[in-house]
Amino acid sequence: MTPKGHSLVDLESAEHATSRRSIISALGVAGLASAITLAGAKTASAAPFSPTADDRATLEQALQLELTASRLYADALAAGLTGSAAEVAQAFGGNHRTYADQFAAITGISANTYNTAAYDARKNDFATSDVTQFATAAWELENSSAATYADLFDGFEAEQSQTVVASIVVVNARMATVLADLAGVSDDLDLLFDPPSEIITLTEQP
């Protein structure tokens, strides 16, 4: 019978087949060789995933900064903030408490100590029911926290340290924008997008 065009089913081998056992043997050797190569490459270039000892020391200071911020927002609420300002203080204080817990989770360090110097420098500005005073102080805190983390960022060795810090600073920036509006300075686009900030001195660990 004369064939009529191509068969609809490709029954030809793409390449010469070998036995299953020989394929498995070959894959095993190749896999082992690849694993050895990758292991060597990882030690040479890849960043560790979990925080290193140096990271943990810095993250402990960051944890204390977050507890400081949480405490300052709690002071503002206790001073009698109401309305939108109170909602902001409640939410942002909760955010900072969550960040402290996250740092504790990835370092194994207890979240129970705050940065007394950073707290003392700001406590009077936060302990107020005046919305503008509170918002201005909190705006400065969020911008300075973001600047502090940005300054520390390159120093983190582990991927997890960098990932967590990066995910916090972007929310610092969002919170600062809300606070700028609450403080009445959001019409100034230069202040909104390039706000003044100072790097916060972190507490040295013994």
189 is a site residue for another protein (CB under 8 A):
yes
Print the binding letters for residues 124-153 with another protein: x by CB under 8 A, - otherwise: ----------------------x---x--x
Q: Are 48 and 159 in contact (CB under 8 A)?
A: yes
Copy the structure tokens of residue 11. Answer: 């029954």
- List the structure tokens of 139: 């705006």
- Least Å from the CB of residue 164 to another protein: 8
Q: Helix (H, G, I), strand (E, B), or coil: what is residue 165?
A: helix
**CA triplet 58, 194, 204: central angle to 5 degrees?**
20
The answer to whether residue 43 forms part of the interface with another protein (CB under 8 A) is no
Q: How far is the C-alpha of 29 from the C-alpha of 12, rounded, in Å?
A: 28
The owner of tokens 């503002």 is 76
By CB under 8 A, residue 159 contacts another protein: yes
Tell me which DSSP letter residue 203 carries. P
Instruction: Provide the minimum distance between the beta carbon of 111 and another protein in the complex, in angstroms, as a whole number.
Output: 15
Dihedral-angle region of residue 205 (phi above 0 means left; psi in -120 to 50 means alpha; beta otherwise): beta
Among 63, 178, 183, 202, binds another protein (CB under 8 A): 178
Residue 19 engages another protein in binding (rule: CB under 8 A):
yes
Between 129 and 186, CB nearer to another protein: 186
Which of 1, 2, 4, 6 is close enough to bind another protein by CB under 8 A?
A: 6
Among 170, 198, 199, 205, binds another protein (CB under 8 A): 170
Residue 155 CB contacts under 8 Å (≥ 6 apart), including other chains = 54, 58
Site residues for another protein, 96-125, by CB under 8 A, read 98, 102
Do the Cβ atoms of 183 and 136 come closer than 8 Å?
A: yes
Which residues would be at the binding site for another protein (CB under 8 A)?
6, 8-15, 17, 19-21, 23, 84, 87-88, 91, 94-95, 98, 102, 146, 150, 153-154, 159, 162-164, 166-178, 181-182, 186, 189, 192-193
